[in-house]
Structure 1
C-alpha cells in the first residue's frame, strides 16, 4: 500500500513537472516536430515513466535528468531562432521534388520517397497529375507543399480585378445558451441588441447553442434543435436592393423631367449613387 501511494505521488509530481517544462518549451513541441524534438519528446516521456515507477532509485535524480534534457532542448530552440545555420543543421532544409512540372528523381531518392508516396501526397493537395504541378517541395517537417501551374490555379477575385473588403474574425457572443459580455463589448454591441435580433427570429438566448456576430454586424445562430433551420441574415441584401431601386428611380426622374437644372441634378445624383453602389457591391453581395 505504501509503494502504491509512493507511485501515485511520484506520478502526480511527474505530470506537474512535465506540464510546466512542456509549457516552457512552447507549442512547437506538440505540433510539427523536428528530428531533435522527436528524440527529446521520447526521452522526456521515458524519464517521466522512470520517475514514477523506479522505486529503487532516488526520484529526484530523474527530475535532474529531466530538467537537463529540457534545458538542452530550450537552448537548442534559442540557437535555432538566432542562427539560420543552426536551423539548417538541426531541421535540415526543404527539398524540391517537382520543378516546372518535372519530377526530380535524384531528390526523391535523397528523401527515400517512392513514386507512389509522392503521388499520394499530391492527391491530398487535389493534384492528380504531376504535370499540373509547377513546384513541389518537401518541408523539414515532412509535409509536401505544392504550387499549381497558373492555368490550374483556382480563380480568385484578384484575377477578375474585383476589389473585396478585408475580412475580420467574427465574435462568438452566445455559447451553450449563455450570452458572453466580453466579446459583445469588444465589438460595441449590447445584450439588448442581441435580444432584439433573436426576437426577429422567434428565439431566446436559451434556444441558441452558438451565436456569432460578423464584421458587418450580422448575427448568425445555431440552435439546439437541429431539425429547425434558422434563416440567414438578409440585411445586406435588402440594403443593396434598396440602393438599386433608388438608382433606378433617380434615373427615371432625370429622364422624365423637362427642367434642365433638375435634369442635371438628377444625372449628378445618379452618377454619385452608381459610384457608391459599385464601391459597396463587394461588401453587400458577399
Structure 2
C-alpha cells in the first residue's frame, strides 16, 4: 500500500475514532474544560496525530491509548457526581472577584488576573463601572458571572408592573423560496394561508429568502432584494384599534342617552370592554 494512502486511511480512522470518543465523553467537554479534560484533550490529539503519521507501529496501540485517556473524564465525572469533595478537587471552586462594588485583589491574584483582564471581562458583559457591580465571580469554566446592583439593573416590564406577551417559538415556514411543510403544520397553518399572506404583501414566493410566523399568525418576510420594503402586518393592530373604537362608542352612547338604565348599561359594557383591551394589548401590540 502506498504511504500516502496508508496515512490517509490512518487519519480518517483517527478522526472517526476521536468523534466516537467525544460522543462518549459528552457535550460538556466541548462547552467547558476541567483540568482533567484539558489534559486528556491535548493527549488524545497528540496520540491521534502520531497514529496518522507513524506507519511502523500497529494502529491498535494508538486506539487503546486514546480509549484509556478518554475513560478518565468519564470516570472523573462519575466520581464528581458522587462526592462534593472530589468535585471541588477535580473542578475547583468559583472565586469571588467583586463584592459590593469592591474588587477583591487577593482573589484576583489567586486567579492570575490583572485589572485589565477583569475590566475586559466586565465590558464583555456590558458593564463599564465597577461601582455598579454587586457581585462578580469566576466560574469553574473560566467565565465571569456578574450581578449588577439593583439601581443599575435595566428596567424590565416586571419593574413597571406591565403585562407582556410570553415568549413564543416562531416557525420558519419559508426558506430560500420554498415553503416548509413541517413547521407550517406545527403552527397549525397550510400552504393556502402562506400564499394568501404573500398575495396581501404583494410578494412572489421565489423572491422570499426567509419567512417566519409567530403564534399570533403574523408573517415576517425577508426578501432577496434588500432594497424592497415589505409592509408590516397590520391585522392585530387593526383589530386592537377596532376594539378601542367600540369602547369609545360605548362611552359616547352613555354620555348621549337620557335613559338612566341604558346609560348604566353602556357604562358597564364600556368598563368590561376596557378590561378586555388591557388584557389583550400585550398580545396584539407587539
Query: TM-score range, shorter-chain basis?
Result: over 0.9
Distance 1:84 1:27 in 2: 22
**Do residues 93 (structure 1) and 88 (structure 2) align?**
no
- Structure 2 counterpart SS, 1:158: coil
- Structure 2 counterpart SS, 1:145: strand
Deviation of the 1:44 alpha carbon: 1.4
CA contact (8 A) 1:167 1:215 kept: no
What's the CA shift string for 1:169-209, capped at 9, x where partnerless? Answer: 11111111111111111121111111111111111221111
The residue aligned with 1:203 is 203
Q: TM-score, normalised by structure 2?
A: 0.95
Distance 2:29 2:68 in 1: 16
Structure 1 123/271 Cα, relative in aligned 2: closer, same or farther at 3 Å? same
- Structure 1 residues without counterparts, runs of 5 or longer: none
What's the CA shift string for 1:197-253, capped at 9, x where partnerless? Answer: 111111122111111111211111111111112222122221211111111011101
The residue aligned with 1:41 is 41
Distance 1:34 1:227 in 2: 49
1:44-59 matched pairs, under 5 angstroms: 44-59=44-59
Structure 1 186/85 Cα, relative in aligned 2: closer, same or farther at 3 Å? farther
The residue aligned with 1:119 is 119
Structure 1 192/82 Cα, relative in aligned 2: closer, same or farther at 3 Å? farther
**Do residues 226 (structure 1) and 226 (structure 2) align?**
yes
Q: TM-score, normalised by structure 1?
A: 0.95
The residue aligned with 2:84 is 84
What's the CA shift string for 1:13-48, capped at 9, x where partnerless? Answer: 111111122122222222222222121111111111
Distance 1:30 1:67 in 2: 18
Shifted more, 232-241 versus 130-139: the winner is 232-241
Distance 1:80 1:195 in 2: 56
Deviation of the 1:82 alpha carbon: 4.0
Distance 2:11 2:5 in 1: 10
The residue aligned with 1:67 is 67
Shifted more, 17-26 versus 185-194: the winner is 17-26
The residue aligned with 1:248 is 248
The residue aligned with 2:270 is 270
The residue aligned with 1:257 is 257
CA contact (8 A) 2:172 2:212 kept: yes
Alignment length (residue pairs)? 286
Structure 1 114/171 Cα, relative in aligned 2: closer, same or farther at 3 Å? same
- Structure 2 residues without counterparts, runs of 5 or longer: none
